[in-house]
């Protein structure tokens, strides 16, 4: 016999194969040093069945581990766990005992501006900062960070998604009124740009801060200005009430984003249904009402002047259910 709760807490999965388990390895922001790949291979070949599954949350899952080998696996993982979390300024007191919790899922992130020309910021760097605020924690929470409104990481399917935006700076002296930015915005985005007397104007009510006008400008008249973030909440899949996340805060500075994460677990702790093994944040918001959520996670948070807080109403769709 083994303690199922402890098994799950240490990031091991309950397998359908009797006597076996699988371990999940965290990679905050989806970016890590290649040196750890050799250890993952060793663990898979020595303790698992020789395969590795890449999870939807950008972690590594090693299946086929014997339950009797769990302690040996945790000892072999210890250095990797300690170093990866230390890069996030997270201190793991006893890494040789494995992960201290697995409720808060690995923070996923798109590749960001380390590679992608569309991305407005370093997504992995922000993910590591968020990791410091929310891990370790037993409460179930899924977070994703994406570099632009293309949302390649599917931030709209998370409990909390962070979308990077930019305020474009415009230098009229460099503009040749070629309208390349306007054509692109009209065809692909929100038609937020117009021209008047050879000057491009931007309608802030329609601009989503994607930054494509910057990429399309041949003379550099548009450049990257301030980085701001859109925070979306309440996304989820599942058997009960799937839905996409809705905008909670738009045009938030990084300090606002981090302050929100400092508060969110207090809200969850106060209102979670403890009769269930886990509960998505969105279901808690449904039960308490959005106002309670908003007031709790924004308590003590100083919003920057541009930040806009939205009311979130998102029923999603519900599978038919007999009473």
- Domain-wise residue ranges, the chain: 4-97, 108-165+228-309, 167-226
Q: Residues 158-180: pLDDT tens digits?
A: 999 999 999 999 999 999 999 99
Q: Residues 12-27: pLDDT tens digits?
A: 999 999 999 999 999 9
State the CATH architecture for 4-97. Answer: Alpha-Beta Complex (3.90)
pLDDT at 239 over 90: no
Would the CATH topology of 4-97 be identical to that of 167-226? no
CATH number for domain 167-226, candidates 3.30.70.20, 3.90.1300.10, 3.40.50.300, 1.10.10.60: 3.30.70.20
**Radius of gyration of the CA atoms of the chain, in A:** 22
Rounded to the nearest integer, the mean pLDDT of the chain is: 95
Q: What is the DSSP string of 253-310?
A: -HHHHHHHHHHHHHHHHHH--TTSS---HHHHHHHH-HHHHHHHHTTT----TT-EE-
What CATH number labels 108-165+228-309? 3.30.413.10
pLDDT at 322 over 90: no
- What would the mean pLDDT of 278-287 be, rounded to a whole number? 91
Measured between alpha carbons, how far is 279 from 244 in angstroms, rounded to an integer? 17
Task: Identify the CA nearest to 227 among candidates 155, 100, 125.
Answer: 125
Distances (CA, A) of 167 to 12, 62, 77, 120: 43, 42, 43, 10
In the chain, the percentage of residues whose pLDDT exceeds 70 is 100
**Which pTM was predicted?**
0.95
Q: Residues 102-132: pLDDT tens digits?
A: 999 999 999 999 999 999 999 999 999 999 9
Q: Please give the DSSP secondary-structure letter assigned to residue 236.
A: B
Q: Residues 207-232: pLDDT tens digits?
A: 999 999 999 999 999 999 999 999 99
């Amino acid at each position: 016999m083994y303690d199922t709760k402890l098994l799950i807490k240490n990031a091991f999965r309950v397998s359908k194969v009797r006597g076996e388990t699988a371990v999940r390895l965290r990679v905050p922001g989806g970016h890590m040093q290649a040196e750890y790949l050799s250890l993952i291979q060793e663990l898979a070949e020595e303790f698992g069945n020789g395969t590795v599954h890449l999870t939807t949350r950008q972690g590594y899952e090693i299946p086929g581990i014997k339950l009797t080998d769990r302690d040996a696996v945790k000892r072999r993982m210890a250095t990797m766990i300690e170093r990866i979390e230390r890069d996030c300024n997270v201190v793991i007191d006893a890494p040789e005992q494995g992960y201290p919790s697995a409720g808060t899922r690995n923070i996923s992130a798109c590749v960001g501006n380390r590679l992608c020309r569309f991305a407005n910021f370093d997504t992995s760097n922000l993910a590591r900062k968020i990791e410091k605020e929310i891990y370790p924690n037993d409460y179930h929470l899924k977070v994703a960070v994406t570099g632009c409104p293309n949302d390649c990481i599917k931030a709209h399917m998370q409990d909390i998604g962070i979308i990077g935006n930019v305020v474009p700076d415009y230098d009229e002296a460099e503009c040749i009124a070629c309208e390349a930015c306007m054509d692109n915005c009209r065809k692909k985005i929100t038609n937020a740009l117009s021209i008047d007397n050879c000057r491009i104007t931007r309608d802030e009510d329609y601009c989503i801060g994607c930054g494509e006008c910057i990429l399309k400008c041949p003379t550099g008249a548009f450049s990257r200005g301030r980085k701001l973030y859109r925070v979306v909440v309440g996304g989820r899949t599942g058997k009960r009430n799937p839905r996409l996340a809705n905008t909670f805060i738009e045009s938030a500075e990084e300090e606002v984003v981090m302050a929100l994460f400092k508060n969110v677990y207090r809200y969850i702790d106060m209102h979670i249904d403890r009769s269930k093994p886990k509960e998505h944040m969105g279901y808690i918001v449904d039960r308490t009402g959005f106002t309670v959520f908003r007031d709790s996670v924004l308590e003590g948070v100083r919003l920057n002047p541009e930040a806009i807080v939205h009311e979130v109403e998102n029923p999603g769709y519900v599978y038919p259910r007999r009473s």
